A and B are shown apart, each in its own frame.
Chain A
Amino acid sequence: MKILVCLGNVPDTTTKIKFSGEGTKLDKTGVQWIINPWDELALTRAIELKESGQVPVEVISVLTVGGTDAEPTIRKALAIGADSGYRVDADPADSYQVAFQISEIARQEQFDLILCGIESSDYNGAATGSMLAEILDYPSLSAVSGIHPVNGHLEYTRDIDGGRETVTLDLPAVLIVQKGIAKEPRIPAMRGIMMARQKPLTVKEPGPSAGYTEMISFELPAPKPSCRKIDPDNVRELVNLLQNEAKVL
């Protein structure tokens, strides 16, 4: 089985988001880039499957759509334990463009199982995985929270309202995974980082799609108002503020 894990290259969660171009672009200066946390869990689970030996996994590849500045993220995935990496040399524009670029490589390389995180922690579009399945015309499952080898095959679990369902799928397929797919993300071991240097990272030219979305502007959420303390004896004042100012009562 050949597994592809699609990686988003996203700003670290502590990043101070700033915009440039009068609020039309993310200002990337000083940003520390990380693997999208959902994708990191997907990769962790893929490696666990390979290591368990309960299903034959020949190769785990990772892919990201991005410029050369995205390569450290791919290297990190290789250090964590992926076998080979792809970078489609294009700036990610929107979910469709990214899904389209992934689909080109997925077709060329004939992956059996494609894992996408349910969303990315930067734009939170939550659309790439489904679009990818649609473009490839592969079966897909969304919000997968478990992948289980059973007698040499894979079964998938999804959390549904009030319970959990177990599903099987014909391969090739796209799995859109959510948190819980792996317990904790793996981090690269030093040995892994050294080995990653010898693993192949292929750069691909982008296919013919530039996406359909036009970003008009970004704005930051209003800063949190400071906390106001009310004397515990002054309940009337509290009720008044909650009712008339906060308008929550």
Chain B
Amino acid sequence: MIKQIVFALTLLATVGVFTYTVLRLAALFKLTQKAFPVRDIGRRLALTLKVAIGQTKILRQPGIGLMHALVFWGFCVILIGSLEMVTDGLTGHERSFRFLGSAYNLIIASGDIFGFLIVFLILAFLGRRLFLKVARFQGPELTHRNHVDATVALSLILILMVSLLGINMFYFRMTELAGTAEPGLFPVSRHLSAILGSLSSSQVQIGHEVSWWTHILLIFVFANYLPYSKHFHVFMSIPNVFLSNLDPLGKLKTMDHVTTEVKLMMDPQVAFSAPAANAPPVPRFGVLDVEDVSWKNFMDSLACTQCGRCTSVCPANITGKKLSPRKIIMDVRARMNEKGSGLRSSGSSFSDGKTLLRDYITPEELWACTTCNACAQECPININHPSLIVDLRRFIVMEESGAPGELNAIFSNIENNGAPWQFNMQDRMKWADGLESAGQPISLPVMADLAAAGKKPEYLFWVGSAGAFDDRYKQVSRAFIKILNFLGVDYAVLGTEESSTGDVARRAGNEMLYQMQALMNIEVFKGYGITKIITCDPHAFNTFSNEYPDLGGQYEIFHHTQFLREMIKSGRLTPDKTFFNGKDVTFHDPCYLGRANGEYKAPREVLGAVASSVKEMNRNRSFALCCGAGGGQMFKEAEKGNREVFMERTDDALETGAAIIATACPYCMVMLTDGIKYNNKEDEVKVLDLAEMVARSLEL
């Protein structure tokens, strides 16, 4: 009875402290902003089963991933045993879950095996942390305190497992002495218990009690230590995965209050008139401080266990830039710890003279991001770093116009001439001058002309600013037109009516300019009744597919590799597979085709139809390294680092020994071509777009 009272009081204290923690966190969550509605419970459950329970993302690093997965699955089983211990403690019974029958036996037996296994796994983890200088566990954002925290958490788990094995060993010995032993329950501990052979019956009982109390008290301590530790992920990971943003990685959140303002700006009747006196103040654009982050950003920061997988795959970090996606997430938690109580007591106007942006996260870090989404792809628990980075950029751009000068220049260009480059819109068709195929001139059908003749083509071919103005990518536009012409596809281009999609502005933080461009383009599409769009630009493909729908533009979008794949599959295109014989080809995955939209197959199927020898780079598909041009980097100097991202990626490609680097994106084309030049390999290695390869093999 005394044991029960002591146990109940301990449990009460544990639950009390835990409740305090939960209430404190709930109050902090109240300070944050809305993110996205939590719908699609079925999809969320499936995702949780796959990513959290199935550990699929942590298994992207198979060795260490499997070790973690075993610990996780072991914990799940052992947790049931812990619940039983709580029940036993409160009721005074012994092994009260026995009514579960054979399921119980399975749980206890597997818990026994897992407990034993986890001891060694944790020892391995500790060894890795303390003796092997694993690169992921280094970094300026990891303080001594963070390292101690990790070691404490691992040590607690180690003692938990040792005490669990203690319980099992002593229990088995007890039953053995009583003649009721069930060896099947303890496949490991029954062997271990041999070392207890010399102990008397009462000594064994004491041993069992000591192990039992050590284990359960440690669980109570652990439960209350976790919320203040990086190891909070033990609680937060599963809910964090369940509450993931279900949108594709390539989709950024549309800022509704920007849409309202942009629509006003675009209405000549009210654009310059003073707002109504009673108009509510427009909230801050983007993220300046921790009260501007969404509940999901904050949750991400609580769930982060600082494993550093994000930072280890970040192209900016790999090339020595200051950006570390892990640090961005850790900073949110640290800043909330610092400012949260002030915000709670003094309201949203509370200021301590510091801000998340600048005092924690510097603009230099933010401007190093290529928005390649490698970090978000890699995170085992679906933390989304790029969306927060863009939100911070949004503040700098829309509240302060403080972007790097080169980005401000492209904003002005897009505003003035509809392209990031300084070219007049009237020159948007020059890329097609003198276009011919097999000696026959090709005249490009233009939407306005067709509309005037009362015709509506099936497809719009979206050339894109790079396709129209970048000298190298103009050749890709030309090659693709030859294919469309060869196929007799019913298409047209917008010609001088085309204007920037706004993608680059958006990823550089200029949501206003993006929405202006998007709304304008949507109007143009509407005017021509456009429903299907083909483009060679993955960035246009992404923003049309994922982002324009938020502003009212719904279309069927095809990246040219998808279109080519369909044409090859249906037999309408039969490229000569031997055309590139004798040449190894490697394929560089554009981030906005691959990670952003999960399209890895189409380009490879097209490649398979034109090339006989394909050599994959070590980092391919969702592991592919960015070319370095996304997120506005194309138009600015790289932030300070050891080297340029494109050099790193070119090395990947050159390592394959391929004579042709195939890709399917204007930015990747520019970067890899530069990389080849940098390596003085222009004669041996060519960078080609898949459309060019198809067109060449068909001798168009």
Contact = CB atoms under 8 A, between A and B. Distances in A.
B401 A189 contact: yes
Contacts of A185: 408, 412
Interface in A1-57: 12-16, 32, 34
Interface in B518-534: none
B417 A190 contact: no
Interface string B257-277: 010010001000000111100
Contact of A190 (B272, B399, B424): B399
B18 interface: no
Contact of B261 (A16, A186, A188, A190): A190
A159 interface: no
A188 B401 contact: yes
B272 A71 contact: yes
A16 B425 CA distance: 9
B401 A183 contact: no
B222 interface: no
A228 to B, nearest CB: 18
Interface in B223-275: 258, 261, 265, 272-275
B416 interface: yes
Nearest to B404: A184
B274 A184 contact: no
Interface string B374-408: 00000000000000000000000111110001001
A108 to B, nearest CB: 24
Contacts of B422: 13-14
A15 B408 contact: no
B282 interface: yes
Nearest to A81: B401
Interface-central residue, A15, A72, A188, A190, by most chain B CB under 10 Å: A190
A133 to B, nearest CB: 30
B258 A12 contact: no
B426 interface: yes
A198 B282 CA distance: 14
B405 A183 contact: yes
A197 interface: yes
A187 B401 contact: yes
A32 B416 contact: yes
Interface string B583-623: 00000000000000000000000000000000000000000
Contact of B400 (A12, A189, A194): A189
A198 B401 contact: no
B558 interface: no
A87 interface: no
Nearest to A201: B272
A36 B667 CA distance: 32
Contacts of A190: 258, 261, 285, 397-399, 511-512
A191 interface: yes
Nearest to A189: B401
A191 B399 contact: yes
A191 B426 contact: no
A126 interface: no
A173 interface: no
B405 A184 contact: yes
Contacts of A71: 272
Nearest to A11: B416
B269 to A, nearest CB: 13
Contacts of A15: 424
Given A34-B416, A183-B405, A198 B275 contact: yes
Interface string B277-321: 000001001000000000000000000000000000000000000
Interface string B22-37: 0000000000000000
Which secondary structure characterizes the binding site on chain B? helix
Given A187-B408, A190-B512, A198 B399 contact: no
Interface string B411-437: 110001100001110100000000000
Contacts of B424: 14-16
Contact of B417 (A14, A194, A198): A14
A96 B449 CA distance: 47
A189 B275 contact: no
A203 B416 CA distance: 25
A187 B412 contact: yes
B198 to A, nearest CB: 79
Nearest to B401: A189
B426 A16 contact: yes
A197 B265 CA distance: 10
Nearest to A79: B401
Contacts of A34: 412, 416
Contacts of B282: 194
A158 interface: no
Contact of A14 (B258, B272, B416, B511): B416
Interface in B542-583: none
Interface string B114-149: 000000000000000000000000000000000000
A127 interface: no
Contacts of A197: 272-275
Nearest to B412: A187
A14 to B, nearest CB: 4
Interface in A143-200: 183-194, 197-198
A191 B402 CA distance: 12
Contact of B401 (A16, A186, A194): A186
Nearest to A200: B274
Nearest to B411: A187
Contacts of B401: 80, 186-189, 192
A201 B594 CA distance: 50
B261 A194 contact: yes
Contacts of B274: 197-198
B429 to A, nearest CB: 13
A191 B283 CA distance: 10
Nearest to B282: A194
Nearest to A198: B274
Contacts of B273: 197
B416 A191 contact: no
Nearest to A187: B408
Nearest to A191: B399
Given A34-B412, A191-B285, A194-B275, 17 more contacts: A12-B417, A14-B416, A15-B424, A16-B426, A34-B416, A72-B272, A80-B401, A184-B405, A187-B401, A187-B408, A189-B401, A191-B398, A192-B401, A193-B512, A194-B261, A197-B272, A197-B274
Interface of A: 12-16, 32, 34, 71-72, 75, 80, 183-194, 197-198
Interface of B: 258, 261, 265, 272-275, 282, 285, 397-401, 405, 408-409, 411-412, 416-417, 422-424, 426, 511-512
19 contacts: A12-B416, A12-B417, A16-B424, A184-B405, A185-B408, A185-B412, A187-B401, A187-B412, A188-B401, A190-B261, A190-B397, A190-B511, A190-B512, A191-B285, A192-B401, A194-B261, A194-B275, A197-B273, A198-B274
The 5 closest A-B pairs by CB, nearest first: A184-B405, A189-B401, A190-B398, A14-B424, A190-B512
